[in-house]
Amino acid sequence: MLPKEIKKKAKAKKKAKAKKKLSPLDKIKKELDKLEKLHEKENDVVERINDIIDEDEDNGSGWDDLSRN
């Protein structure tokens, strides 16, 4: 094995150990952070959808025209 490969494997092992050493509280915090980021993305999508609806209503060509046919 080349010295670079040995270093990479050692680094990977350290990373794996670091992941294993997370306490349950740290794991929960990590998952909550992920959930919070997802919630922010959801809010952004809802806001963009509402903007599209508002823009459509302002232009007068609403969904109501389509549903009457």
Q: Tell me the pLDDT band of 3, cut-offs 50, 70 and 90.
A: confident
pLDDT of 17 strictly over 90: no
> pTM of the full predicted structure?
0.51
- How does pLDDT run across 43-60, given as a tens digit for each residue? 999 999 999 999 998 888
Give residue 12's pLDDT: 82
Inter-residue contact 66 to 59 (CB < 8 Å): no
pLDDT score recorded for residue 66: 57
pLDDT of residue 59: 87
Structural domain boundaries of the chain?
A: 23-58
- Report DSSP letters for 14-65, one per residue: HHHHHHHT--HHHHHHHHHHHHHHHHHHHHHHHHHHHHHHHHHHHHT--HHH
